[in-house]
Structure 1
């Protein structure tokens, strides 16, 4: 076997796994060893084709050298095949195992100088590195996250700390808003005080009017007086009813008590105001 595969630079050895009794069928593993390169999967496929070519060429030579073979133990080229190609090294899987169960999904392999590097996005200097601008990257269970810095003059914000806000501008805006609110409160306070003062002044006027009215003999506040008819009010051309009744003596001797007096039925007249 070593003679057949000796022309392959990556050939290491052969491991015979099965011999079929009474025949020349030999199942074996061809062990190859090579340096790691980023395109290792494609490289392994090429080597596997070389192995297949080698074993088939060796079988073909045996057939040509024994073309008069009539026994059952002759080489059969169609029975020679390569199968079950396997790779014992997987950088992605090894990287995730080193990271641990909690953070395995956030670790991956990136090639640098043709060598695999097990990294996360928080590691600088790679194509997949997360740029946090004005912040620091930390790996959490939920994934990489940027924590923004705060300086004496600025605040930084955003998913990757890409936005900056000057503290002086914020303080100025807050001061302006505070001044506007203060002026508004002062105006409101002045309006309330003036309203209360006006209400108090009107109330004082009403109380004074009531007091003057009571002193002049008018009705108490809340009562009604018919100014058009007041028998108690004395006028210059009025006469006392007592003097009239004292001199008045009616005489009913000449009145016919059987005389009927007809009074016209009163009618209600409606007028619009």
Structure 2
């Protein structure tokens, strides 16, 4: 979808007013986007689900025999240089010859056949959709009159080198409205979204409808939402109420707001409890680890360090002149450990400061 922003602001803007980027040729009036016919939305970004065309391109099928052109096989190949040259010549000559027909848009060659050259082509003309049949009948009659009264195009174009001469007979018939592709040539619908519209005429009122329309046999049900057409096609835009959020490609899923709020609160509380519990466990493990290290250190000193250090440490004696270090290792091989030793018990003698021992 073409996005255009109107650069001409007719209203004097107040300080601080943000100019909205209006789309689809909408204009900003200083307060909001003013949308063109068939568009709506804050930025004119949406297109109506049902659009009634004012006019459509009608086709009148015409078959003529050109007498002054020799038929060749190359003319059957629409990609050949010979065909391209003839197509340009035919379009230019017929544009001048069909000039009396109102709202003429051009011709389109359908086929070329042998017989001099038999040309089946469509005459394209813009007609009001409400009077489609009447106008196309009138156009067909005018084409018949023009062809019957014209022998060669140079009578009208005055171009002898490019002239085309026809047989006195021609076949002209107006075609019914093309329900398949009519919405692909409606000026009221942007070209980028024409593919999302189909022709509808069951009610006697011709219109182009999208799948958002209630008239569509393949209508999109948006449940708790609104269907709108954008350049991406029909799309559901979900509603939001005080109690629910609606989501899903068809707004079919309802999410309770109170439930979400309660769930978030419970989740945060549980997370807080877990964090506190992990902090307590971590603290206790760290404290237990420090105690284990202290006990292990003391046990190592008691079991290993005392004897080893005393065995390895040199014995030191002192004297007035200095100190002398030597190794002292007692020999207990000749000590009788079965001899009982009596150690006197200390006693306090009343009235004196001397100690006495008793056996």
TM-score with structure 2 setting the length: 0.36
Say which one has the larger Rg.
1
TM-score with structure 1 setting the length: 0.46
More helix by share: 1
